[in-house]
């Protein structure tokens, strides 16, 4: 039979082990988070949405796809944002005030803006802006003298104007808004019930997903397999989340979402051009090296 002292000793040992494991996992999570933040800061990926604004403003030829969709997109934005505040703000405020107290007035505004932005992006990127954003991305690459990579996905015409050089598309454009992304969005909505921290986590999760999609066209032009894309995104999660965070914040601004959708696309193309010329900290495993690694793995 076991003595009480033996039982007590066994219990103390198990508790100590659990505490040690918990401490170990906490340190691992902290180190991983620190590494992600470090990678994001080192890459300066968060600056590319800002660079996109400047580059877009200084290159008038890139304005044509934007101006051609401005009217319909503005009407869509006004209709969705006004409708969301008119019909969903008060019901959501009623729920969030139970969890967030007086802060619910602000967190509900943030939530409705995020929801409106998601709906607008889902509709516009699927039916309204897809071709225009594709032209903007390719045109920016051409403006950065990355003609060789663009030729992998479309014909180029002679000339000096980047947008006029764009010819027939040879490869399908960006992925459309997927039902899986919408389901994931709805799954994480309850995070907004947690005061401040929950809303911040919700935006961060959306930013991470947004960041992972910004180079879909670039990966397509590089002829990367799904394995190569996943491997690249996994190894550079911090930079892409940082880009997505800034891009998401800009696209949440009411009635300016379309403008920032285009400037973020420009920023993503500038980033891709820098990766091609290895002018970023993300030099290990860049396009040519990663392709060779993937071929060996296959």
Give the per-residue pLDDT at 190. 80
231's CB contacts (< 8 A; 6+ apart) are: 285, 290, 293, 294
Phi and psi based region of residue 2 (left: phi greater than 0; alpha: psi -120 to 50; beta: remaining): beta
Helix ranges, the chain (H): 4-43, 48-58, 63-100, 104-123, 130-143, 147-150, 179-188, 197-213, 216-221, 226-235, 237-251, 257-276, 287-297
The 3-class secondary structure across 115-149, one letter per residue, is: HHHHHHHHHHHHHHCHHHHHHHHHHHHHHCCCHHH
- The list of the chain residues with pLDDT below 70 reads 1-36, 38, 172-179, 281, 283-298
pLDDT score for 21: 54
Q: What is the pLDDT of residue 216?
A: 92
Percent of the chain residues topping a pLDDT of 90: 45
CA pair distance 259, 253, nearest whole angstrom: 10
The reported pTM is: 0.76
The pLDDT, as a whole number, for residue 208 is: 87
pLDDT of the residue at 15: 52
Largest CA distance in the chain: 92
What sign has the CA pseudo-torsion 121, 126, 127, 131? positive
pLDDT at residue 191, rounded to an integer? 82
Distance CA 208, CA 154 (A): 29
pLDDT at residue 165, rounded to an integer: 95
User: Residue 283 has what pLDDT?
Assistant: 53
Q: What is the pLDDT of residue 28?
A: 55
Give the span between the Cα atoms of 224 and 59, in whole angstroms. 30
The residue whose two tokens read 């409106």 is: 116
pLDDT (0 to 100) of residue 124:
86
Quick one: pLDDT at residue 264?
96
Which residue is listed with tokens 């002292």? 5
């Amino acid at each position: 039979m076991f003595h009480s002292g033996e039982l007590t000793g066994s219990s103390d040992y198990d508790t100590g082990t659990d505490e040690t494991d918990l401490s170990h996992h906490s340190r691992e999570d902290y180190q991983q988070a620190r590494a992600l933040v470090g990678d994001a800061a080192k890459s300066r990926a968060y600056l590319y949405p800002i660079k996109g604004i400047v580059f877009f403003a200084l290159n008038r030829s890139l304005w044509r796809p934007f101006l051609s969709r401005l009217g319909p997109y503005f009407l869509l934005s006004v209709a969705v944002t006004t409708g969301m505040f008119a019909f969903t703000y008060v019901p959501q405020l009623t729920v969030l005030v139970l969890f967030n107290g007086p802060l619910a007035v602000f967190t509900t505004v943030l939530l409705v803006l995020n929801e409106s932005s998601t709906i607008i992006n889902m509709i516009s990127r699927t039916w309204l802006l897809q071709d225009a954003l594709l032209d903007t991305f390719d045109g920016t690459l051409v403006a950065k003298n990355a003609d060789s990579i663009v030729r992998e996905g479309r014909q180029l015409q002679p000339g000096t104007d980047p947008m006029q050089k764009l010819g027939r598309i040879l490869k399908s454009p960006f992925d459309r808004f997927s039902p899986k992304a919408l389901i994931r969005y709805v799954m994480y909505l309850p995070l907004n019930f947690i005061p401040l921290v929950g809303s911040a986590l919700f935006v961060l999760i959306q930013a991470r997903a947004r960041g992972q999609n910004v180079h879909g066209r670039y990966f397509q032009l590089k002829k990367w397999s799904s394995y190569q894309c996943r491997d690249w995104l996994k190894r550079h999660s911090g930079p892409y989340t940082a880009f997505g965070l800034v891009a998401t914040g800009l696209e949440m601004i009411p009635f300016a979402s379309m403008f920032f959708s285009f400037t973020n696309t420009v920023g993503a193309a500038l980033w891709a051009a820098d990766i091609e010329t290895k002018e970023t900290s993300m030099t290990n495993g860049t396009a040519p090296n990663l392709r060779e690694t993937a071929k060996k793995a296959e």
